[in-house]
Structures are given as C-alpha cells and as structure tokens.
Structure 1
Amino acid sequence: MSNHPSAAGQTVEVFYDGECPLCLREIKLLKWLDRKDRIQFTDIAADYFNATEYEKTPAQFMDEIHGRFPDGQWIIGVEVFRQLYSAVGFGLLVWPTRLPGISHALNFGYQVFAKNRLRLTGRCTKETCEIG
C-alpha cells in the first residue's frame, strides 16, 4: 500500500519511526499543530511501509529522519524539522535555527541523538546496537 503525498496543500512528507517513543511524541504534537493538513505523515514502522518504494533502504530511514517535498526532493536531519515547523506556522521560530552557530549545534545534537536513539529509547537489540 503506497502512502505517497497526494492531498492538495501538503508542503512536506515526514518519514518517522512510529515505534520510537520520543519520535512519536514529536509527531503527535505536529499532527495536533497541523490544522491545515500541510504534512503527510508516513510511519516507517507500519506493516505496509516498503522502503524500496522510495528507492531507499530501511536502514537509511532508520539512521535519521527523512522528509520529502511534493516535487520528490528529499531532505534529512534537522532540515526536516525546520520544514515541519514551518508547515505548521512556526516559520519565525525556525529562521534562527539557520544561523551558523545555532545550525551547527543543532546538527551536531541531532546526529548524536540519531546515532543513539535506539539505546536512548530502550530499543537496543543485538542486531540494532551492536557494533560490527
């Protein structure tokens, strides 16, 4: 079952891990804030989700958050959050996150979280957290 963005007015699709408690908390907030239906929410943990439909691997989606514009252009990491919060009307709060010092700190912080989110959310297994 394909879950590609199709509704008019949607500005971004977010691919999130519906089994990640911290991620899900953020997504629930965004769904509540998305009163104009500008975001397409796609759960990469759902049974119907197939990464190959998007020409990506499951590992790519799990490594860091992905977003996609209606024209098919991909975004990853902190830029996804910028686009999501802009879509719900928080553009004025987003622009300072693009300033050099703040941008670098956010990117660094997100990378640390992304690499450790399974451990931080108690979802480590031998396969997901063991270093090869």
Structure 2
Amino acid sequence: MQALATACCNVIGRQRTQLHSFLPFPNQIRSLTSGHPLQTFKSYPPAFRHPIRAIHEATVAPMTSNKENQPHPQNWKIKMLFDGDCPLCMREVNMLRERNKSYGTIKFVDISSDEYSAEENQGLDYKTVMGRIHAILSDGTVVTDVQAFRKLYEQVGLGWVYAITKYEPIATIADAIYSVWAKYRLQVTGRPPLEVILDARKKKDEICNDSNACKM
C-alpha cells in the first residue's frame, strides 16, 4: 500500500507541476510592463505627442472588474463550496476561476461568507463543509473528496489531472491522502482549530443579532 501511495502521489504531483507551469506569474507580467510606454515617444515631433498621450491613457485605463462581484454563470453544471479564508485553497480556486471564464460551468460559493446559506446548498452547513471539499452537481447530487476535485477539473478541460483517481486502488489511496490533508489543513495554514472558528462565528452571529453593527 505504501508503494502504491507513493506512486499515486508522484503521478499527481507531476501532473500538478505541469498544470501550474502553464499559468502566468503576476510578478513576471508586472516586470514586463513596468516601464512607462510614453518614454518611447520622446523623439516624436511636438505635434504628435498629445494625440499619442491621449491614445495611451485611454488604452491603459485601469479596469474596475472584481471577480467576487461577477455574476454566477446561469448554466452551471457543478457548484464548488470553498473556504475563502484558506490561503492554499484559494490558489486552486483562483486557478479554476480563471479557467472557468472560458467554460462558465462552475458556480463558486464561499462558505466563509456571511451570506452563505445551507438551505440553498443541499442543507450542507458550515461545519460539515469545513471538514472536507464538497461540490454539488446541477441535479442536486453531492460529491466529496477527490471525486469532487475530479468533477470540477473535468468541467474546465482539466479532467486528465485526476483521471487516474477513477480506478482502484488509486481511488482509495487518493481519498486517504486527501483525508489527511483535510484533517490537518487548518494547522498547516496557521489557523486555529475548527472548534475555535465555530465559536468565533457563533459569537459574531449573536452580536449581529443583538445590534445593527453588522448591518453597517
């Protein structure tokens, strides 16, 4: 079993490394665009400087889009319930969000949000979803663990990443490995135990219910 587990980890590790190698690095992009484009036009005659400046300013006007405020896809096929307070989790969520721009098949739901509703998500409360990854298919079917990742990745053209986990004994081994990660992810990311988080959320809810502080 140990040898199979090692083989499974190596395969998944290599595939994930290949996947992330295709993703752009923001620092590299910023380094390519850090120079001021207007400097290249200093040699132009005075008559051309102002039109060029106007065109340049119109072209590079900052965008005001916010991923969190973008509308959910209308024809989603799977809903991903994710912990928005988990920094490692958000790296994967953001990658899937970027891919989903071309597919529109995943609906992302942040369970850490005050607006999260268990009633709207097959009765899955915060404590349950914090324990392990959950996804909900458009027909209401709930999938968890590695199967949830496999379904999500399939919807954005990356099914090959988790394809091997369809088969035994790899499926069982992969779920076992993920269970270890799910059990210790709060500690790994430097967060307090789940009981402490739940207690803090409970106190926050009590304060919000007793005052208008959370409505401001």
Residue 59 of structure 1: aligned partner: 127
What root-mean-square deviation, in Å, do the aligned CA atoms of Structure 1 and Structure 2 show? 1.9
What whole-Å deviation, never above 9, does each CA across 1:4-57 have from its counterpart, x for those lacking one?
A: x7612x221000000001111110011111121110000001121122443222
Look up the match of 1:119: 187
Q: 2:169, 2:160 → 1: CA distance?
A: 18
Name 2:34's counterpart in structure 1.
none
Alpha-carbon distance in 2 for matches of 1:116, 1:76: 17
Whose helix fraction is larger, Structure 1's or Structure 2's? 2
What is the Cα deviation at residue 126 of structure 1? 8.0
Q: Runs of at least 4 residues of structure 1 off by over 3 A?
A: none
Query: For 1:126 and 1:81, how far apart are their aligned partners in 2?
Result: 22
TM-score, normalised via structure 2 length = 0.53
1:97 Cα shift? 1.6
Higher relative contact order (CA 8 A, sep 6+): 1
How far apart are residue 91 of structure 1 and its match?
2.4
| More deviation, 27-36/89-98 | 89-98
Q: Over alpha carbons, which structure has the higher Rg?
A: 2
Q: Deviations over 1:37-80 (max 9, x none)?
A: 11000000112112244322221011011100111111111111
Greater mean alpha carbon deviation, residues 59-68 or residues 84-93? 84-93
Q: Matched residue pairs, number?
A: 124
Equivalent residue letter for 1:18:
G
Task: Name the TM-score, length of structure 1 as normaliser.
Answer: 0.85
User: Counterparts of 1:57 and 1:31 in 2: how far apart (Å)?
Assistant: 23
